[in-house]
Amino acid sequence: YSKFVLFSKNPNLLFSMASTTKIMTALVALDYYKIDDVLTVKTEKVEGVNVGFKVGEKLFLKDILYAMLLPSGNDAALAIAQNYPGGEEAFIKKMNEKSKSLNLTNTNFADPIGLEDSGDYTTPLDLVRLTSAALENKIFADIVKTKTLQISDITGENEYLLKNLNKLLGVSGINGVKIGTTTEAGQVLVT
C-alpha cells in the first residue's frame, strides 16, 4: 500500500485510544519475545474484558497475542507486560520508547491495555503511523485478520474460543485491525 493520505479530518486531535493501545503492546511484545516463548499469567479478572486466564496458567506468546487482539483480552495484555523484565512499569516505558522511535510525537502510553482515565493519548495520524508499522510484521498482520480461533494453555487442559470483535472483518476486503471502546474514548476503529 502507498501510505499516501487520501483524506484526513482532525489528524492531530488528541484522544484516548482505548484498546487500540494493544497495537503497541503487540509490537513491543513481538520485538522482545519469541513467538513460542511461554508466559505465565500473574493476574486474573483484570478491569474490562477478560479471556478468563487463571493465575499460574502458562501460554505461548502467540496464543496470548491472539487473545489480546481478537476479543481484546485485558488479562492477555497484562500477562504480556507482567512477564517483561522489570514488569508492567518497564514494559510501559518500552512502549513509549518505541513510540518515539516511530515518530509518534503526540502519543503517550500509560498502560498496556488502554484503560479509561489512565492518561494515555494519541492522534488519528499517530495511530495510523503505528498501525502501518505494525502491519509490516507478518505475525501481527495474520493475527488481526483472524475471525475466530481456539487456543489453549500449554497443557491443553484449558481451552478458549476467541472471536474477533471487529464486525467489519472480511467485508469488502477488510482484514483488520483493532477496535476499542471506553466511555472516555468513545468507539475507536483502526481498519
| pLDDT tens-digit series, residues 4-24 | 888 999 999 999 999 999 999
Q: Among 66, 69, 64, 98, which Cα is nearest to 81's?
A: 64
Catalytic annotation present for 72: yes
- Catalytic residue among 16, 62, 72, 178, which? 72
Considering the entire predicted model, what is its pTM? Answer: 0.97
pLDDT tens digits, one per residue of 63-90: 999 999 999 999 999 999 999 999 999 9
Measured distance CA(42)–CA(55) in Å, rounded: 5
Catalytic annotation present for 22: yes
- Catalytic residue among 22, 62, 94, 178, which? 22
Measured distance CA(88)–CA(54) in Å, rounded: 18
Spell out a b/e string for 38-73, using b for 16 or more CB atoms within 10 Å of the CB, else e: ebebbebebebbbbebeeebebbbbbbbbbbbbbbb
- Catalytic residue among 16, 19, 99, 118, which? 19
Measured distance CA(32)–CA(137) in Å, rounded: 13
